[in-house]
Amino acid sequence: MTIEQAIYAELGDDATFTAAIGSLHWEAAGRAPKLPAVVVQQIADTNEKVFLGAYGGQATLQFDIYGKSQADTADVRPDLKAALRRIRGAVDDFTVTAVRISNEVSQGPQPETGVYRYTIDAIVDYTE
C-alpha cells in the first residue's frame, strides 16, 4: 500500500467524515456518484531518504469535492480539512508527521455536467 492509498483508507474509515459526504472515490468518481462526492488523486510523492536512515517524503494529494451547488462543496470543505488534521502517527506501514493544505480553488460548475467542483491540495509528510 502506498502512503496515498493509506490516506484514502484512513478517510474511508473516518465515520465523522464519511457521514458528511455522499461518496468517496480514488482517482475518478465514475458515472453518477452520490453527491457530494470527494475524489482523491495522487499528484506527487518524493519518497526521499531523510534523517536517521528512515525513508520518507512528501506526498501531494488532490481532493476534488463535487456537489450539486456551491453550498454543497462549501459544506464538505471543513469536514475534509478536519479529517485530514486527524491523520497523524501510525498509518498502515507509515508514520504521518504532518498533513497541511497547500492550495484551494473553486472550479465552479463543470461545463459538461453543471456539477460544482472545489479542489483542495494537501501535502503529507511521512516516514516509512
Domains and CATH numbers, the chain: 3-127 (3.30.2000.30)
Over residues 72-81, the pLDDT tens digits come to: 999 999 999 9
Over residues 20-70, the pLDDT tens digits come to: 999 999 999 888 899 999 999 999 876 655 554 566 788 999 999 999 999
Long-range contact set of residues 74-78: C-beta below 8 Å, sequence gap at least 24: 74/118, 75/20, 75/36, 76/20, 76/21, 76/36, 76/38, 76/118, 77/104, 77/118, 77/120
Query: pTM of the predicted model, to two decimals?
Result: 0.90
pLDDT value at residue 49: 52
Is residue 11 within 8 Å of 3, Cβ to Cβ? no
pLDDT value at residue 21: 96
| CA 59 to chain CA centroid, nearest Å | 11
Confidence band, pLDDT 50/70/90 cuts, at residue 96: very high
pLDDT value at residue 47: 61
Q: How far apart are CA 10 and CA 18, in angstroms?
A: 11
Quote the percentage of the chain above a pLDDT of 70. 92
Q: How far apart are CA 17 and CA 7, in angstroms?
A: 13
Is residue 23 within 8 Å of 11, Cβ to Cβ? no
pLDDT value at residue 44: 84
